[in-house]
Structure 1
């Protein structure tokens, strides 16, 4: 099994990388369709030749790393099973303690360490790429701090989830997926509630918006949109990135309206207000709750399919992996592999829904603000600032983009502006 895995990996992975490279660098057309040329959506009207070249190159390299990372994750999980590392992790945990509350978290920690180390080079290359194109400004110590926070946070959450999951698998052989789903619902809601006030501050420093005049304008906009907010938060992101962002997230009393300082520094007040109107559109149209509902529905089907496939995997390859049955913690990489595969298969559907939600938020923002000039200017500045590809290749758009392309978004705003100008 080991030789077969190594042989096919050495044969297929480089071939896959070659085909992806050819697709992104030679077979894809990043040009502007004739119908968009000369319009506000044409990057040639608001970007220099140098910026256009940088945008194309950066996008190609960034997309290449993304597509390389997808099968790499699958290969890591398979390799850990094939080479018996999963069994070693399990034996080590059992040597420390017989209690599930101890041995399963130890297994999760060991598995996480190995996967983190294997994926680290790709993460580091991605960081260097962002630095070289002046997207990232983050120092290596700061970047490593964020990496380690994410690592330990993931280990903590995953240890809790996996311990509960394997207790259910052991006790309820045929219904564990259903009980796991039922317990997952309040956990997802809890994470959504605490993220703005507990998780996000672990990575960045939040403070009240210093520009009180702008805060009053944003709160007036929130009041007009019936959003219960009494302050706006500013987060210091300029020490990490040159990109811009703003968002409204959280539920209940933990609702937060947040602006990155990079957004404040690079956009006019009118442009900031349009961006905030867009984010408020997500709240008003209940996209946060639709996302929650989508996660719950997706988890139901995902857990059921995983239950079915895990049994097939163990029956066919379990002996070679040293895995006894589904309740064996050594089978965890197989379960994570299934979840990853299901997530990849579902991603085009999720992204299509997300693009629809983003379009709806754009439409709401233009109705709330009715300032197409500021709207177009904000999107153009976002494009230049992040070196966004305004017309990505087909695979990139449908496997990466949760927003309509910038070309589509600016074109929609320009049509609205023309319609408004033509109205009597």
Structure 2
């Protein structure tokens, strides 16, 4: 079984990598569709030849690397079971303590550590590309610090969730998935409330926006949208990246309007206001809560399907893989394998919903600011600084993009501008 797994994994992964290479470097059309040539959405109108070349190179390499890494997590989970690592982890936990409340978090730690180490080359290669192409200016020690923070935050949350989940599996063999889903709902709200004030500051330094005139204008936009914000926050990202961003997150008293300092440094004031109007649009149209509702529905379906697939896998292969019951902690790699696979299969639908929400926020922002020139300029600057591909291959768009492509977004804004000119 082990030999077959290694052989088939290597053969299929090599074939997969070759097909990816052909798709991204040979078969994908990187040109601009004739209908967009010469428009504001055509990168040739706002990028130099060198910038355009770098954008095409960077996008291809990052997309290739991203898709190359996609199946690795599945392979790791299968390998952990087939090679008996899950049994080794379980036995180690049982030697450390006879209490499941110790054994389960320890198993999660060992599994997460192994997964992180094996995926590290892909993560590092992605970081290296970002540095080489001038997107990231974060030094290695700072990057590793963020990686370690992310690792321990992820571990604490995951250990808590998995410990509760496996206690439910043991006590409620047929309804554990439903009880787990009910418990997850308040947990999701809690995490949304906690994120801006506890987790985000672990990565970056936040302060009140220094430009008080700009803050007043942003708060005026927020007041028009009935957002209960008293200040705008600025986050120091220029020491890590040249990319730009802004967002509104959190709920209740922890709601935050945040601007990256790179956005403030590179965009004109009216362009910043358009970007903030876009983020305010998400709040006005309740996209934060719709996203939460979507996550709750997805969690219900995911846990329901995982329950049935995990039972089937346990009956069919469990004994050979180190578990005879779903509630045994050695089934965790199979649980993760099923859940991540379902997440991948559902991602096209989730991303389509996200792209529609982003389109609505763009439309809201242009109606609010009535400044198409600033809107177009902001997206063009975002494209240049992030080396964003304005017209990515279809595979990338439908499996990676939670926003409309920059070509689609800029074209929409230019169309809005043309309509206004005709009306005048």
Please give the alpha-carbon distance, in whole angstroms, between the structure 2 residues aligned to 1:55 and 1:354.
Answer: 24
| 1:198 equivalent in structure 2 | 198
Post-superposition offset of 1:226: 1.2
SS state at 1:98 partner: coil
Please give the alpha-carbon distance, in whole angstroms, between the structure 2 residues aligned to 1:352 and 1:149.
Answer: 31
Post-superposition offset of 1:89: 0.5
| 1:254 equivalent in structure 2 | 254
| 1:85 equivalent in structure 2 | 85
Post-superposition offset of 1:350: 0.3
| 1:419 equivalent in structure 2 | 419
| 2:239 equivalent in structure 1 | 239
Q: Deviations over 1:154-202 (max 9, x none)?
A: 1100110000000000011111000000001110110011000011001
SS state at 1:258 partner: strand
Please give the alpha-carbon distance, in whole angstroms, between the structure 1 residues aligned to 2:73 and 2:108.
Answer: 16
| 2:364 equivalent in structure 1 | 364
Please give the alpha-carbon distance, in whole angstroms, between the structure 1 residues aligned to 2:346 and 2:368.
Answer: 33
Alignment of 1:4-153 (within 5 A): 4-153=4-153
SS state at 2:234 partner: strand
> Structure 2: any 5+ residue segments left out of the alignment?
none
Post-superposition offset of 1:101: 1.4
Please give the alpha-carbon distance, in whole angstroms, between the structure 1 residues aligned to 2:204 and 2:387.
Answer: 23
> Structure 1: any 5+ residue segments left out of the alignment?
none
| 2:287 equivalent in structure 1 | 287
Post-superposition offset of 1:322: 1.5
| 2:338 equivalent in structure 1 | 338
Please give the alpha-carbon distance, in whole angstroms, between the structure 2 residues aligned to 1:136 and 1:396.
Answer: 22
The runs of at least 4 aligned residues of structure 1 exceeding 3 Å deviation read none
Please give the alpha-carbon distance, in whole angstroms, between the structure 2 residues aligned to 1:190 and 1:15.
Answer: 44
| 1:212 equivalent in structure 2 | 212
Please give the alpha-carbon distance, in whole angstroms, between the structure 1 residues aligned to 2:362 and 2:343.
Answer: 27
SS state at 2:71 partner: helix
SS state at 2:36 partner: coil
Please give the alpha-carbon distance, in whole angstroms, between the structure 1 residues aligned to 2:209 and 2:360.
Answer: 27
Could you say what the CA RMSD is over the residues aligned between the two structures, in angstroms? 0.6
| 1:387 equivalent in structure 2 | 387
Post-superposition offset of 1:99: 1.2
Residue pair 2:310, 2:326 contacting (<8 A) in 1 also? yes
SS state at 2:179 partner: helix
Q: Deviations over 1:91-127 (max 9, x none)?
A: 1111111112111111111111100100111111111
Please give the alpha-carbon distance, in whole angstroms, between the structure 1 residues aligned to 2:402 and 2:30.
Answer: 19
Please give the alpha-carbon distance, in whole angstroms, between the structure 2 residues aligned to 1:319 and 1:341.
Answer: 22
SS state at 2:178 partner: helix
| 1:354 equivalent in structure 2 | 354
| 2:178 equivalent in structure 1 | 178
Post-superposition offset of 1:244: 0.1
Please give the alpha-carbon distance, in whole angstroms, between the structure 2 residues aligned to 1:86 and 1:189.
Answer: 32
Q: How many residues align?
A: 424
Please give the alpha-carbon distance, in whole angstroms, between the structure 1 residues aligned to 2:155 and 2:109.
Answer: 6
**1:375 maps to 2:375:** yes
Please give the alpha-carbon distance, in whole angstroms, between the structure 1 residues aligned to 2:106 and 2:72.
Answer: 24
Please give the alpha-carbon distance, in whole angstroms, between the structure 1 residues aligned to 2:139 and 2:94.
Answer: 40
Please give the alpha-carbon distance, in whole angstroms, between the structure 1 residues aligned to 2:99 and 2:185.
Answer: 26
Q: Deviations over 1:52-103 (max 9, x none)?
A: 1100110011011110111111000000010000011011111111112111
